Amino acid sequence: MNKFDRVFSILILLQTRSILTAKDIAERFEISVRTVYRDINTLKSAGVPIIGDPGIGYSIMEGYRLPPMMFSEEEASALLTAEKFIGKLTDSKTQSNYRNAMIKIKSILRNSEKQSLAKLDDAIAISDDNNWSDQTYLQDMFGSIASKKIMKIEYRKIDGATTQRKVEAIGCYHQYNAWYLIAFCLARKDYRTFKVNRIVDLRVLDQVFNTEHISLQEYIDRQDASWKEDKRFHTIEIVFKFSLLEYAEKRKYYFGFIDQIVREDEVQMKFLNTSLDFVARWLLQFGDQATVLAPVELIDLMQSLTERLYKHYH
């Protein structure tokens, strides 16, 4: 990226955050902190009202905004692709907000770019095979996180019983075709994970909380570390024949794939997984086209499962 494009991009970045440190900018554009100082001075010399000093951070004086800018065709295409995913993975309110934003973005594109996007719109599709049910509370949760307002939720537990909680939300994440809310539960005095499609009712209260909670990423890291401590990982080695390799390839990462060796007519894969039963039931579909090399416990389990299956049908 040449200096002009970089300085212009820094100006755009400054408008997206209340304050940015030189380190943040340097990492974003892969440049030295000294170069950041020079670029900031370039912007100041051009009349951009930047507030801040080295070692503190930078921000743009309130009220200063660039006029509407042009997007490159690649940037507009990326936004269109994101719109497709948002249409499948979020609630109707979020989808509506994003569509409105896209309308504003498309309004400043050149005619040629609009025509290209129109062609792409019909040529990009996201499969609707994840059985994701529409969540009506995502925008409310996002608003609660941003404003630090307490939420009152009615939650349906796995046994069907419902409970009411007041929570202080710290974040949301999407995994395995479902949204999850991470929040500090005032009743339990601890952090909890709530599956969004089990929230029966949600209200954002006027009460603001001032507690400084851990970040979403810190919570996820803690959960991962705790899970790994409680689990025993098995090193699993399996040989797949080429005849059914494409089916193994589709799901190998889901079962903890870490390495493979390709031979003449077969592939030997190595996995790390905590559940031998889970892997064994996956392997049943491959019949004699998959052979377990290790561990011995998995070989024994495969023999037991196939014997039970044989008896079941005879």
Which residue, 12, 37, 60, sits at the end of a domain? 60
Length reported for the chain? 314
Are 220 and 181 in contact by the 8 Å Cβ rule? The answer is: no
- Given this model, what pLDDT does residue 52 score? 82
CATH number of the domain enclosing 266: 3.30.70
pLDDT, position 134: 47
Sign of CA dihedral 244, 246, 251, 257: positive
* Sites in the chain below the pLDDT cut of 70: 65-73, 88, 107-111, 113-114, 119-120, 122-136, 228, 230
One-letter amino acid for residue 12 of the chain: I
pLDDT tens digits for range 171-227 = 988 877 778 899 999 999 999 999 988 999 999 999 999 989 999 889 988 888 877
Q: How far apart are CA 97 and CA 26, in angstroms?
A: 32
Domain total for the chain? 4
Q: Is residue 65 part of a domain?
A: no
Instruction: Looking at the structure, tell me whether residues 143 and 223 fall in a common domain.
Output: yes
pLDDT computed for residue 131 by the predictor: 47
CATH code, 21: 1.10.10.10
128: in domain:
no
Chain centroid to CA 164: how far?
A: 28
Question: What distance in Å separates the CA atoms of residue 252 and residue 155, rounded to the nearest whole number?
Answer: 34
Whether residue 130 is contained in a domain is answered as no
pLDDT of residue 230: 67
Which pLDDT score, from 0 to 100, does residue 91 have? 73
Is residue 68 in a domain? no
- Statement to judge: residues 224 and 144 lie in one domain: yes
Picking from 288, 228, 284, the residue whose alpha carbon sits closest to that of residue 256 is: 228
Q: Are residues 182 and 210 in the same domain?
A: yes
**What is residue 108's predicted lDDT score, i.e. its pLDDT?**
65
How far is the C-alpha of 271 from the C-alpha of 240, rounded, in Å?
13
Q: Which of 165, 196, 228 is the endpoint of a domain? A: 228
| CATH code at position 145 | 2.30.30
Using DSSP, state whether 189 is helix, strand or coil: coil
DSSP line for 225-290: HHHHHH---EEEEEEEEGGGHHHHHHHGGGGTEEEEEE-SSEEEEEEEES-HHHHHHHHGGGGGGE
Of the CA atoms within 13 Å of residue 248, those in its CB half-sphere come to: 25
> For the chain, percent helix, then strand, then coil, each to nearest 5?
50, 25, 25
307 and 244, same structural domain?
yes
Claim to verify: residue 296 and residue 276 sit in the same structural domain: yes
**Helix (H) / strand (E) containing 141:** helix 138-147
Instruction: Answer whether residue 132 is part of any domain.
Output: no
3-state class (DSSP) for residue 149: strand
CA–CA gap between residue 262 and residue 66 (Å, rounded)? 55
CA gap 37, 55 in Å, rounded: 10
Structural domain includes residue 114: yes
Q: Are residues 189 and 241 in the same domain?
A: no
Residue 133 lies in a domain: no
Do 159 and 215 belong together in one domain? yes
Which residues fall within 8 angstroms of residue 132, CB to CB, at 6 or more apart?
88, 89, 177, 178
Map tokens 């974003």 to a residue: 28
Same domain, 55 and 79: no
Contact status, residue 85 vs residue 79, Cβ threshold 8 Å: no
Domain that holds residue 7: 3-60
Predicted TM-score (pTM) of the model is: 0.53
Q: Which residue has the tokens 């999850």?
A: 180
What residues are paired with 185 via a beta bridge?
Answer: 167, 190
Question: In which order are the strands placed within the sheet that holds 149-156?
Answer: 190-195, 178-185, 162-175, 149-156, 199-208
Q: How far apart are the first and last CA of the chain?
A: 69
Distance CA 299, CA 245 (A): 20
